[in-house]
Amino acid sequence: MEGEQQYLFIDFEFTMPEGKMKPEGFYPEIIEVGFAAVINEKIIDQFSSFVLPVTFSELTGRCKNFLNISQEQVNSGMPFKELVGLLEKYDQKQPTTIVTWGNMDMKVLRQNCKGAGIEFPFRGKQIDLSMEYKRFFGDQNQTGLWKAVQAYGKEGTGKHHRALDDALTTFNIFKLVEKDKSYMKNHQPTTIGDRIDLSKVLDNFAL
């Protein structure tokens, strides 16, 4: 498998302020990571962990309630620097494409790396699957991850807003979208001649 294209489906959960008024210097920090490494549509590895926030280490009530996460869970998480080292290891192992639902995950990772004085771990292509989905289906608005998967008549994996479950759900919808794209490519739309029996139309004119 070495040298083959690897897809890394990633989801992060972040800290959030209590209300609309952000404390001075506040920016979202990663507090949970989940990812699945995929080659040839097969999951070869997956990882899940809580991550220690640095700047605002105390979680707000809103954050704990929204993510159903406790301060104790986050306190037992891995240091951010260790997370970046792990992601870099996966990226360097073979050619890697990063897939996320929405652009926030990579934005926050970049911001957190900058804040910690650490180099961004990914060198390859990054795909925002929500935009691919929007373009493919012509939706005017970006669709939420679990709403998108339910549009296919499926359910998300595990619990929404748990990082690994959301990463696996992103992988599942990626497979569904790719299947649809492949179908559309291989099946040309029918022409008007295919849809209408022209001999019957001409017979009517002959009467």
The answer to whether 161 is a known catalytic residue is yes
Domains of the chain: 6-206 (3.30.420.10)
Q: Is 13 one of the catalytic residues?
A: yes
Looking at the whole model, is its pTM more than 0.85?
A: no
Catalytic-labelled residue, pool 132, 161, 178, 187? 161
Mean pLDDT by 10 residues, the chain (207 residues): 88 94 92 97 97 94 95 97 97 95 96 96 94 76 74 69 92 86 57 47 49
Alpha helices, DSSP H, located in the chain: 61-67, 71-75, 80-93, 104-116, 129-137, 145-151, 163-186, 192-195, 198-206
Q: Retrieve residue 122's tokens.
A: 């990914």
Distance CA 198, CA 17 (A): 66
- DSSP for 162-201? -HHHHHHHHHHHHHHHHHHHHHHHHSPPPPHHHHS-HHHH
Q: Is 104 exposed, middle or buried (0-12, 13-18, 19+ CB in 10 A)?
A: middle
Q: Which of 13, 24, 29, 187 is catalytic?
A: 13
